[in-house]
A and B are shown apart, each in its own frame.
Chain A
Amino acid sequence: EVQLVESGGGLVQPGGSLRLSCAASGFNFSDYWMHWVRQPPGKGLMWVSRIDVNGTSSVYADSLKGRFAISRDNTNNTLYLQMSNLRADDTAVYYCARDVREVGATDYWGQGTVVTVSS
């Protein structure tokens, strides 16, 4: 069974940093591109970032470039999102998701981890 389990969310002050993790199991993690998507409270979905199978190519939403960094550890089947200089509008549920064979759609999602940026 495919499982994605996010962790690392929490309350952080504006300007602070946080690293999210996503533990993958039930599939060959190193064969799949992976994504992060976020959802502010009561709002819609926003795509954040995608990384290729080797971790050598990554892309980001324009507004997050320079502050967010996606990475992966294929040995330990884990996806990461390093977030820095956090702002109040980064408050959201953050989901990791598996790519459908490089189509860009995402077929399996984690349950999400909540990030709250507030003083």
Chain B
Amino acid sequence: DIRMTQSPSSLSASVGDRVTITCRASQTFGNFLNWYQQKPGNAPNLLVYAASTLQSGVPSRFSGSGSGTNFTLTISCLQPEDFATYYCQQSSNIPFTFGPGTKID
């Protein structure tokens, strides 16, 4: 199985900050790397898929990049509604696997 790690596990940020979350995989795979946002009590929300494709309706302050085993999610200007937990997921190899999450507070 491909093991996904994220750093940091949590971060404190302020409105207007530029935030970067890193996701690393235990082995190389195709760029089937996805990012989700989850707020307490809600289902996850897809932000980015295939490493860098912004999901329809997601604000342009979110962006994804990377390849191989290293991927990043960047929020260019943090907004109040962005305080949440973020998960990466690889969907290249079965079983699909999620990272442990990064909480922004």
Contact = CB atoms under 8 A, between A and B. Distances in A.
Interface of A: 37, 44-47, 50, 59-62, 95, 97, 100, 103-107, 109-112
A22 B101 CA distance: 26
B88 to A, nearest CB: 10
B46 A106 contact: yes
B22 interface: no
The B contact surface, by secondary structure, is loop
A59 B95 contact: yes
Given A103-B49, A109-B44, A47 B97 contact: yes
Nearest to A60: B95
Given A45-B87, A62-B1, A104 B95 contact: no
B50 A105 contact: yes
23 contacts: A44-B87, A44-B98, A44-B100, A44-B101, A45-B36, A45-B38, A45-B87, A45-B98, A50-B94, A95-B44, A100-B46, A100-B55, A103-B32, A103-B49, A104-B34, A104-B91, A105-B49, A105-B91, A107-B46, A107-B55, A109-B44, A109-B45, A110-B43
Interface string B68-95: 0000000000000000000101011011
B81 to A, nearest CB: 18
